[in-house]
Structure 1
């Protein structure tokens, strides 16, 4: 039985201090959104939060705590917003819209700290303000992306994990990610494709889908034209689909990717497994870049963020939209509650 009840306790780190994260979070604190869906604990330097408030013209009350234990006890009361003040930056010295090693280290340090508190059972997950990968690398966290940092800290490096993207209820995962296009076919095996299918399926189950319907995309034009335009569909993708179906999963495909997303956006599928990075990213970002959400799939805790990034071009102006963070936050809350019982029956 989970020790947690009611709304989930979620950490909300402010993200990259030079980007729009503090502004987004300030807006959602002011309108009551964060409290409505969870018991939030803001994590970051108070001066950065205050700058976000100033930039957006927001005003709201919050209680400052110096330890996560104190912050959790305050959040449980649901009487107002709580800030775990990390005292880790001086907002007056932060250059807006500039990639900074100091900011990168600070945002990654906060994530590592939050993951430690997740492992200690104090918080159930986190929805983080947009971060900057280049800044993190400059700050000493030399990972391909934050997802590898999560996997290392949470002990799942040897298990299927990675980024999933969500737009208007459609999820995508991918069998390969940040590798050159010329190397994709060599990395497609029944195991790698099967892992991507399973990751998508299990993540959707954690998100509350009772029987997720997942389609997989072909890699070759016209789905390989029965082997006359490539054999990956016959030799790799079809066997992976057959194995997943034999395990009781609702998996269909492979379908040519130039028409697959037309069906997917009509609601025929809950998720699409693509074969390489841009195959799904182009479709989702063209359809609704400003609304997309990124989910850290395969991690033991609920972890989400907006997909749009730090938006340096508008940082400091107070003009950021909050829709993507709202979706990410609600999804994080839903997954955290599902995790209380998922896989424990």
Structure 2
């Protein structure tokens, strides 16, 4: 291992589901372990158990750091939603965030969670992203981004009732989502992102006949984004936009609500899907599927999304390290210049 590779915290997710076996399969591949210094929120004995379930061998484990877990509750039942599983997941995620916030890790990749279990365990936020933001004391804009091979999406509203979607859409939020998507696509896909924005209403509102969100909020946000140099178009009816996007017209699409994008993305690439928790200052990625209680231990869980999530977490962490190194170098140079100027001032003739 070189000292320059990123440090990634791997969290097995909800232990009642397929996350532990997927983690073991990821770690069984030496190529994955060569890409990052891996810190695992599991004991060595737990990882042995995960590997047994997955029917894999994780050889030469000296390059894996076992962080263990702060969870001290009862055993977690497999294949069902439980408070215990939620408490363990929250404890492990807290450890991962704290390590990143303290500069001891560069990014997080976690396996599937169960929001019901985390809610039973005390999570009051609408989802884990908002829980992350609260834990990090981050009050900026956040949005889930979803990746498949050919496309990236971000959404203006997420885990809210359908009856509240329109109230959650404003020009400011649409603009922030466009800017976030543009930034992430530029970091992970192409330096020249081409973006499109979905309308909220059928036929893009048809000139106000079916609603004014396109006129009052979405179109003005698009124009402001374009004035800031972002290549973005819309709003387009979503029933035709995704066919154009997957055909290569766009690299990313902004959607107005959860299922507007998720239905399309899971139809286009369920075996590829990755969710990135955008906006917060820590790279976090996870496969875009659930705990799959019905297939735990059968070997049927598809490793593809987890592999893609790991790849994205590593690449984002590398980008974060590069940015931090550049910022530190600039700050150091500035400090040196200032110190030199001060020294010169001290010896200058009066």
State the TM bucket, normalised to the shorter chain.
Answer: 0.7 to 0.9
In 1: Cα distance, 2:44 partner to 2:158 partner: 36
Q: Deviations over 1:27-67 (max 9, x none)?
A: 1212224213322122124443222211121112365xxxx
What corresponds to 1:55 in structure 2? 53
SS at match of 1:85: coil
Superposed CA RMSD:
2.1
Matches within 5 A, 1:1-345: 6-61=4-59, 63=61, 80-86=63-69, 88=71, 93-156=75-138, 158-207=139-188, 209-342=190-323, 344=327
The answer to whether the 8 A contact 2:8-2:106 is kept is yes
Q: Deviations over 1:302-334 (max 9, x none)?
A: 100001111111112232221101001111111
SS at match of 2:314: helix
In 2: Cα distance, 1:5 partner to 1:168 partner: 30
Q: Deviations over 1:90-117 (max 9, x none)?
A: 99x4321111111211111111111111
SS at match of 1:216: strand
What corresponds to 1:68 in structure 2? none
For residues 197 and 190 of structure 1, do their structure 2 counterparts lie closer, same or farther at Cα, with a shift above 3 Å needed?
A: same
For residues 331 and 94 of structure 1, do their structure 2 counterparts lie closer, same or farther at Cα, with a shift above 3 Å needed?
A: same
For residues 133 and 140 of structure 1, do their structure 2 counterparts lie closer, same or farther at Cα, with a shift above 3 Å needed?
A: same
In 2: Cα distance, 1:251 partner to 1:22 partner: 40
> Deviation of residue 256 (structure 1)?
1.0
> Deviation of residue 87 (structure 1)?
6.9
The answer to whether the 8 A contact 1:61-1:81 is kept is no
> Deviation of residue 342 (structure 1)?
3.8
The answer to whether the 8 A contact 1:62-1:82 is kept is no
User: How many positions carry a matched residue from both structures?
Assistant: 325
In 1: Cα distance, 2:35 partner to 2:181 partner: 25
Gap runs ≥5 in structure 1: 64-78
Between stretches 114-123 and 175-184, larger displacement belongs to 175-184
Q: Deviations over 1:164-200 (max 9, x none)?
A: 1111141111111222223322322211211211221
Task: State which structure, 1 or 2, has the greater radius of gyration over its C-alpha atoms.
Answer: 2
If the length of structure 2 is used for normalisation, what is the TM-score?
0.87
